Amino acid sequence: MMLAPAQNLSQRQRRRALALVAPALLMIGVFMLVPMGIAMVYSFLTPDSFGGVAPPVTVESYIRFFFDRDLDDTLRFDPTYLQIFWRSIFQAVLTTLACIVIAVPFAWYMATRGETTRKILVLLVSIPFWTNMLVRTYCWVLLLRDEGLINMGLQAVGITQQPITFLYSDAAILIGLIYASLPFMILPVYGTLEKVDFRVVEAAFDLYASRISILRKVIFPLAMPGIAAGTLLVFIPTLGAFLQPDILGGGKKLMIGSLIQQQFTSSRDWAFGSALAVILMAAVLASLIWAALKRERMEQLG
């Protein structure tokens, strides 16, 4: 006789859980799945003369990513777009690694301060979010140009006699990407380290471990959940970044985000731009699935 109320309670709990999850599912559907579906449909259509797409259905945009057509309509392998993809992946990997190297010690320093100091440091890390990304990127132009503050400072202290060309290079793009992405790595790592039992570190000191050993064998493993979350928040947006390559790279060092942006603006080839976006999404999803499977395998072995 008690089964019916229990079943009703279970059904009410499921409905309540569904009601709580529904707004998130709606947001994901409207702002992620629908745009992805539109991009996928556009990628199989023909570019219109003045922008947009039109019938017929074709896979020409995907063929164009790998091949170039000669005058006699024969296909010839062209690695240009693959090189842009590899450059984007390389810059994203370097940015992620640099953010990890900077974020872990800094987040540990934040986590070991007093409550008031921690709040101040979290506020300072969050301040860049208050300013538009475009404005912040242009500020680096003022710092890195030949007459910028960095070159003026180097010449003032006698380190250099002539300006060093920092701007419009891969290094300038990397600096801009690290600057834009660093808070997304620091905050998740800090959130993880804040919950650490510091008696573990004290025990390591009691066992005569060096600071480097403690950082490598104690702090770094404890920070891994935050590093994993920060890696996703840094790597994926960096892979599709276009402001830093355009402004700090001067458009000379194309990345995949810049290439997609060009297709939808100056080139007006929405079909090819959509195909590039679909290929990028497929690459990101494949890497996420690979990382999830690898983590699951490691947990099973552990």
Mean pLDDT calculated for residue range 98-115: 92
- 123 touches 203 (CB < 8 A): no
The pLDDT of residue 45: 93
Q: Of 232, 119, 130, which Cα lies nearest the Cα of 185?
A: 232
**What are the Cα distances from residue 131, in Å, to 143, 170, 233, 236, 243?**
17, 24, 19, 21, 15
pLDDT band per the 50, 70, 90 thresholds, residue 88: very high
- The single-letter code of the amino acid at 217 is K
High-pLDDT (> 70) share of the chain, %: 96
Mean pLDDT calculated for residue range 68-97: 90
Mean pLDDT calculated for residue range 126-135: 88
pLDDT band per the 50, 70, 90 thresholds, residue 212: confident
More confident residue, 6 or 214: 214
pLDDT band per the 50, 70, 90 thresholds, residue 274: very high
Helices assigned H by DSSP within the chain = 3-28, 34-43, 60-66, 80-111, 115-126, 133-144, 149-156, 170-193, 199-206, 211-214, 220-222, 224-239, 243-247, 256-264, 270-301
DSSP string across 7-35:
HHHHHHHHHHHHHHHHHHHHHHIIIIIHH
Kindly tell me if the per-residue pLDDT of 251 is higher than 80.
no
The pLDDT of residue 1: 46
Mean pLDDT calculated for residue range 151-168: 87
Q: Where are the domains of the chain?
A: 40-68+270-302, 90-268
Domain 90-268 part of CATH 3.40.50.10950: no
b/e string for 58-74 if b means 16 or more Cβ within 10 A? eebbbebbeeeeeeeee
How would you write 41-72 as a 3-class SS string? Answer: HHHCCEECCCCCEECCCCCHHHHHHHEEECCC
Kindly tell me if the per-residue pLDDT of 6 is higher than 80.
no
d(CA 182, CA 130): 15
Kindly tell me if the per-residue pLDDT of 4 is higher than 60.
no
Average pLDDT of every residue of the chain: 87
H or E stretch covering 208: none
The pLDDT of residue 46: 92
Mean pLDDT calculated for residue range 134-145: 90
The pLDDT of residue 167: 87
Q: Among 7-21, 33-47, 53-67, 215-229, whose mean pLDDT is lowest?
A: 7-21
Mean pLDDT calculated for residue range 258-275: 91
Kindly tell me if the per-residue pLDDT of 91 is higher than 90.
yes
Bond preceding residue 225 cis, omega within 30 of 0: no
Most confident of 54-58, 128-132, 219-223: 54-58
> Which residues, other chains included, contact 144 with Cβ-Cβ below 8 Å and sequence gap of 6+?
150, 166, 167, 172, 175, 248
Both structure tokens of 137: 């990127």
pLDDT in tens, 13-34: 888 888 888 888 888 888 888 9
Q: Of 196, 234, 239, 232, which Cα lies nearest the Cα of 98?
A: 234
- The single-letter code of the amino acid at 258 is S
Which residue in the block uniquely carries the two structure tokens 């079943």?
7
Q: What's the DSSP call for residue 207?
A: T
C-alpha neighbours within 13 Å on the C-beta side of residue 37: 7
> Which residues, other chains included, contact 239 with Cβ-Cβ below 8 Å and sequence gap of 6+?
88, 89, 92, 256, 257, 280, 284
Q: Length of the chain in residues, anyone?
A: 302
Q: How many other β-carbons are positioned within 10 Å of the β-carbon of residue 116?
A: 8
Both structure tokens of 84: 């842009």
